[in-house]
Amino acid sequence: MAFSERIARLKSSLIREILAAAQRPEVMSFAGGLPAEPMLPKVDWAEMPASMGQYGMSEGEPALREAIAAEARKLGVPCDASQVLIVSGSQQTLDLASKLFIDPGTEVLLEAPTYLAALQAFQLFGANCLTVPLGAEGPDVAALRQRLETSKPAFAYLIPTFQNPSGVRYTEARRDEVAAALDEFGVTLIEDEPYRELVFDAGAATPLVSRLKKSSWIYTGTVSKTLLPGLRVGFLIATPDLFPHLLRLKQSADLHTNRIGQWQALQWFGTEAYSGHLAELRDFYRIRRDAMQAQLEEHFGDLADWNIPQGGLFFWLTLKNKIDTRSLLDKALKENVAFMPGEPFFTDPDANPGHLRLNFSHVAPERLGEGLRRLAAVIREAQAAA
């Protein structure tokens, strides 16, 4: 059977495989970015018009596009509703952007580490993924500028606010420096912001796209982390030179995003009820983050280093004694614990051993300690045998 040449580059998603293995109720899963089920809001469908069952506009529901544009402008994103495209989760933005920009060998610029499903999408289309090291304040600017001086990436894909997997939030100064470099070298920016609303302190985080003066950009977000991931409703906002192409690609992919999910998202977006829900969500996750921090200090204090995330859903641990954490998965699952190895978040996994991404939103605080104790024991045993 003759498949397309890109199928040779198609990789399975390790995180999806782990989530499938972790479906048993006895498994304590720190693996996925799953919202806490007690915080999934109760939704009402009674008022939904029957017309929502009909085909809709490829761009998305006009009222939802207006609401998203209004909220984006409050953040400083220069846009109007005509630049908003409703997508099937922000993952679809990455697929559309890949189709727009990437041919085999096309260079793209990423943080190291970066979101593994973005890597999966870009590599599927044959991208040559260049990386810049990510520190506590954001990307290494000297390394970024060196990359831009020696190559011409089609775009830079960045997650400046509570980055996945590291949890890093770029400082305001670093945001200015990164935006200035992209402008100087004329590089398009894809800014991914799924965790923006899950903030646990008063720190600032103005989007990078609001600082760009010359470069084209795509800004993408989702309601998956704040409302219901099952709705599969996300959005992208793009500069006018990019938007028509993205719209046509959307039309060829799935005609339009699920209208029923769009209607439900519109009942929340920009409302007082949504603001109240977000406040409750932040308080809930702050408690879970603090509970995990306390348990990590007890069980991982001698094993790993980490920073306390100021938002998002993850802790990013670096083992003091590096081993390939992918080798720990089966042993951890036998102990009814799931976690996400850190290696797949790098373009060269084998060269970057010794990291773990741990989600703190999903496991109840009273089970956290036992799960982390078991995981720490698995790591100690593997290190002793190495």
Percent of the chain with pLDDT over 70: 98
Domain match, 254 and 370 both: no
Domain match, 70 and 22 both: no
Domain presence at residue 27 = yes
Q: How far apart are CA 42 and CA 132, in angstroms?
A: 41
Domain presence at residue 50 = no
Measure the CA dihedral 223/275/358/175, to 10°. 80
> 228, exposed or middle or buried, with CB in 10 Å at 0-12, 13-18, 19+?
middle
H helix runs in 40-171, sequence order: 62-75, 90-101, 116-124, 141-150
Q: Identify the domain containing residue 301 by its residue range.
A: 5-40+274-381
N residues, the chain: 386
Asked whether residue 13 carries a pLDDT value surpassing 80, the answer given is no
Q: How far apart are CA 156 and CA 111, in angstroms?
A: 9
Domain match, 74 and 184 both: yes
Q: Which residue has the tokens 């998002």?
A: 312
Domain match, 291 and 265 both: no
Over residues 310-321, the mean pLDDT reads: 97
**Tally of domains in the chain:** 2
Six token digits for residue 238: 């793009």
Domain stop point among 214, 240, 272: 272
Domain stop point among 238, 272, 306: 272
Domain match, 258 and 359 both: no
Domain match, 251 and 283 both: no
Domain match, 288 and 188 both: no
CATH number of residue 138's parent domain: 3.40.640.10
What is the tens place of the pLDDT at every residue in 331-377? Answer: 999 999 999 999 999 999 999 999 999 999 988 889 999 999 999 99
* CB-CB neighbours of 146 under 10 Å: 12
Lateral strand order in the sheet of 355-359? 304-305, 314-319, 355-359, 340-341
Domain match, 28 and 160 both: no
Domain stop point among 257, 272, 287: 272
CATH number of residue 280's parent domain: 3.90.1150.10
What is the tens place of the pLDDT at every residue in 95-118? Answer: 999 999 999 999 999 999 999 999
Record the pTM.
0.95
* CB-CB neighbours of 76 under 10 Å: 11
Mean pLDDT over each residue of the chain, to the nearest integer: 94
Q: So what's the pLDDT on residue 286? A: 96
DSSP symbol at 328? G
Helix (H) / strand (E) containing 151? none
Helix (H) / strand (E) containing 220? strand 217-222
Tell me the sheet residues that pair with 79. none
